[in-house]
Amino acid sequence: MTNDHPAVRSKTNIPFYRDERILQIFAQVVSTVVIIGILIWAIINFFRAAEARNMTLTFGFLKDSAGFPISNPPIAYEPVMSTGRAFLVGLVNTLMVSGLGIVFAVILGTLIALARLSSNWLLSRIALIYIEFHRNIPLLVLLFIWYFVVFGMVPPVQESIIWPGPTFVNKRGVYLSWPRLTETGSIFMISIAIGLLLATIAYSMLRKRRKITGKETYYIPASLGLLIISFIVGWLLSGGTPFQIDSPYLDGFNYQGGLRLTPEFAGMFISLSMYTGAFIAEVIRGGIQAVDRGQIEAARAVGLSPLQVLSLVIMPQALRIIIPPMISQFLNLTKNSSLALAIGFQEVFSVGKIAINQAGRAVPVFAMIMITYLSLSLLTSFILNIYNRRIQFVLR
Amino acid sequence: MYRKYFPIIAMFMVLTIILTACGGTGTVETVIETVIVEVPAEGPPAKAEILDRVLERGKVVCGGRTDLAGFGMLDEAGNNTGFDIDFCRAVAAAVLGDPTAIEVVPLTAADRGPVLQTAEVDILSRNVTWTASRDSQWGNFTTVMFYDGQGFMIRKDSGITSTADFDGGTVCVTSGTTTEQNLSDFFRQNGMEYEAVIFEESAAVYSAYEEGRCDITTSDKSQLASVRSGFADPDAHFILDITISKEPLTPAVPHGDDTWFDIVKLVSYALINAEELGITSANVEAMKSSENINVLRLLGEEGDWGYTDLGLEPDALANAIAAVGNYGQIYDRYMGPVGISFTLPRGPNELWNNGGLIYAPPVK
Q: What is the pLDDT of residue A55?
A: 72
- B92 and B220 inside one domain: no
- B102 and B229 inside one domain: no
Query: Could you report the per-residue pLDDT of A252-300, keeping only the tens digit for each?
Result: 778 888 888 899 999 999 999 999 999 999 999 999 999 999 998 999 9
- B275 and B300 inside one domain: yes
Give the pairing of strands B146-148 and B169-174. unpaired
**Spatial separation of the C-alpha atoms in residues B162 and B177, rounded to whole Å:** 24
Which of A115, A95, A119 shows the shortest CA–CA distance to A107? A115
CATH code of B215's domain: 3.40.190.10
> Which of B243, B271, B303 represents a domain boundary (last residue)?
B243
- B255 and B131 inside one domain: yes
**Spatial separation of the C-alpha atoms in residues B311 and B186, rounded to whole Å:** 47
- What DSSP letter does each residue of A85-115 carry, written as one string? HHHHHHHHHHHHHHHHHHHHHHHHHHHHHHH
- B253 and B350 inside one domain: yes
Do B22 and A59 lie within an 8 Å CB cutoff? Answer: yes
Do A48 and B42 lie within an 8 Å CB cutoff? Answer: yes
Q: Which residues of A touch B245 (CB under 8 A)?
A: none
B170: distance to nearest CA of chain A, Å?
Answer: 8
**B40 found inside a domain:** no
**B361 found inside a domain:** no
Q: What is the pLDDT of residue A341?
A: 87
Which of B126, B198, B56 shows the shortest CA–CA distance to A69? B198
Query: Could you report the per-residue pLDDT of A352-373, keeping only the tens digit for each?
Result: 988 887 777 888 899 999 999 9
Residue A110 banded pLDDT, cuts 50, 70, 90: very high
B216: distance to nearest CA of chain A, Å?
Answer: 11
- B178 and B228 inside one domain: yes
Whether A252 and chain B come into contact, CB under 8 Å, resolves to yes
Whether A96 and chain B come into contact, CB under 8 Å, resolves to no
Closest CB to A353: pick one of B29, B118, B200: B200
Q: What is the pLDDT of residue B21?
A: 47
Beta bridge partners of A82: A65
Average pLDDT along chain A: 87
Q: What is the pLDDT of residue A213?
A: 86
> Which of B193, B225, B243 represents a domain boundary (last residue)?
B243
**B44 found inside a domain:** no
CB atoms within 10 A of CB A142: 19
Do B168 and A39 lie within an 8 Å CB cutoff? Answer: no
- B207 and B121 inside one domain: no
Phi first, then psi: what are they for A259, rounded to 5°? -105, 125
**Dihedral sign from CA coordinates of A251, A252, A257, A262:** positive
Q: What is the pLDDT of residue A256?
A: 82
Q: Judge residue A161's burial from the number of C-beta atoms within 10 Å of its C-beta, 0-12 exposed, 13-18 middle, 19 or more buried.
A: exposed
A184 compared with A316, residue with greater pLDDT: A316
Q: Which residues of A touch B15 (CB under 8 A)?
A: 367, 370-371, 374
**Spatial separation of the C-alpha atoms in residues A83 and A68, rounded to whole Å:** 9
Please name the amino acid found at residue A153. M
Q: What is the pLDDT of residue A396?
A: 45
Contact assessment for residue B299 and residue B271, using Cβ atoms and an 8 Å cutoff: no
Number of structural domains (chain B) is 3
B90 alpha-carbon distance from chain centroid? 14
Contacts of B45 (CB under 8 A, 6+ apart): A52, B256, B257
A173 alpha-carbon distance from chain centroid? 23
Do A358 and B215 lie within an 8 Å CB cutoff? Answer: no
Q: What is the pLDDT of residue B137?
A: 86
Closest CB to A252: pick one of B32, B168, B201: B168
Query: Could you report the per-residue pLDDT of A228-260, keeping only the tens digit for each?
Result: 998 888 888 887 777 888 888 887 778 888 888
CB atoms within 10 A of CB A207: 15
Q: Which residues of A touch B35 (CB under 8 A)?
A: 40
Tell which of B116, B129, B198, B255 to mutate to test the A interface (max A CBs under 10 Å): B198
Contact assessment for residue A261 and residue A176, using Cβ atoms and an 8 Å cutoff: yes
A378: distance to nearest CA of chain B, Å?
Answer: 9
Do A47 and B21 lie within an 8 Å CB cutoff? Answer: yes
**B223 found inside a domain:** yes
Whole-angstrom Cα Rg for chain A: 29
Q: What is the pLDDT of residue A357?
A: 78
Which A positions 317-346 lie with beta carbon below 8 A of chain B? 341-344, 346
Q: What is the pLDDT of residue A39?
A: 95
Using 70 as the pLDDT threshold, list the residues of chain B that sit under it.
1-47
Structural domain span for residue B318: 49-147+249-354
Residue A159 banded pLDDT, cuts 50, 70, 90: confident
Give the global pTM.
0.75
What DSSP element (H or E) covers B20? helix B2-22
**B317 found inside a domain:** yes
Identify the CATH homologous superfamily for domain A83-154+260-395: MetI-like (1.10.3720.10)
- B343 and B215 inside one domain: no
**Dihedral sign from CA coordinates of B12, B18, B24, B29:** positive
Q: Which residues of A touch B188 (CB under 8 A)?
A: 78-80
**B362 found inside a domain:** no
Q: Where does A150-309 have alpha helices with state H?
A: 151-153, 185-213, 219-237, 263-289, 293-301, 306-308
Q: Which residues of A touch B131 (CB under 8 A)?
A: none
Interval A84-112 mean pLDDT:
94
Q: Which residues of B touch A343 (CB under 8 A)?
A: 199, 204
Q: What is the pLDDT of residue B18?
A: 52
B274: distance to nearest CA of chain A, Å?
Answer: 35
B154: distance to nearest CA of chain A, Å?
Answer: 13
Contact assessment for residue B105 and residue B115, using Cβ atoms and an 8 Å cutoff: yes
Contact assessment for residue B166 and residue B192, using Cβ atoms and an 8 Å cutoff: yes
- B76 and B135 inside one domain: yes
Q: What is the pLDDT of residue B11?
A: 60
Contact assessment for residue B115 and residue B63, using Cβ atoms and an 8 Å cutoff: yes
Q: What is the pLDDT of residue A4?
A: 52
**B359 found inside a domain:** no
What DSSP element (H or E) covers B70? none
Q: What is the pLDDT of residue A157?
A: 82
Q: Where do the domains of chain A lie?
A: 2-52, 83-154+260-395
Do B119 and A53 lie within an 8 Å CB cutoff? Answer: yes
Beta bridge partners of B123: B62
Closest CB to A253: pick one of B170, B183, B197: B170
Do A53 and B117 lie within an 8 Å CB cutoff? Answer: yes
Query: Could you report the per-residue pLDDT of A6-43, keeping only the tens digit for each?
Result: 555 555 677 877 888 888 999 999 999 999 999 999 99
Contact assessment for residue B103 and residue B59, using Cβ atoms and an 8 Å cutoff: yes
Q: Which residues of A touch B21 (CB under 8 A)?
A: 43, 47, 57
Q: What is the pLDDT of residue B40?
A: 41
Which of B73, B72, B70, B90 shows the shortest CA–CA distance to B326? B90
**Spatial separation of the C-alpha atoms in residues B254 and A55, rounded to whole Å:** 12
Closest CB to A67: pick one of B181, B204, B212: B181
- B348 and B276 inside one domain: yes
Q: What is the pLDDT of residue B8?
A: 59
Residue A393 banded pLDDT, cuts 50, 70, 90: low
Whether A253 and chain B come into contact, CB under 8 Å, resolves to yes
Give the pairing of strands B72-74 and A243-246. unpaired
A358: distance to nearest CA of chain B, Å?
Answer: 6
**Dihedral sign from CA coordinates of B291, B292, B298, B302:** positive
Which A positions 4-43 lie with beta carbon below 8 A of chain B? 39-41, 43
Tell me the helix, strand and coil percentages in chain B, rounded to 5: 45, 15, 40
Do A254 and B170 lie within an 8 Å CB cutoff? Answer: yes
Do B19 and A360 lie within an 8 Å CB cutoff? Answer: no
Interval A188-214 mean pLDDT:
88
**B331 found inside a domain:** yes
Q: What is the pLDDT of residue B14?
A: 57
Contact assessment for residue A46 and residue B154, using Cβ atoms and an 8 Å cutoff: no
DSSP three-state, residue B146: strand
Question: How many angstroms separate the Cα of B261 from the Cα of each of A318, B122, B330, B346?
Answer: 67, 10, 22, 27
A356: distance to nearest CA of chain B, Å?
Answer: 8
Closest residue in B to A61 (Cα) is B23
Which of B205, B213, B221, B363 shows the shortest CA–CA distance to B292? B363
Please report, for chain B, how many H helices and E strands are present, in that order. 15, 15
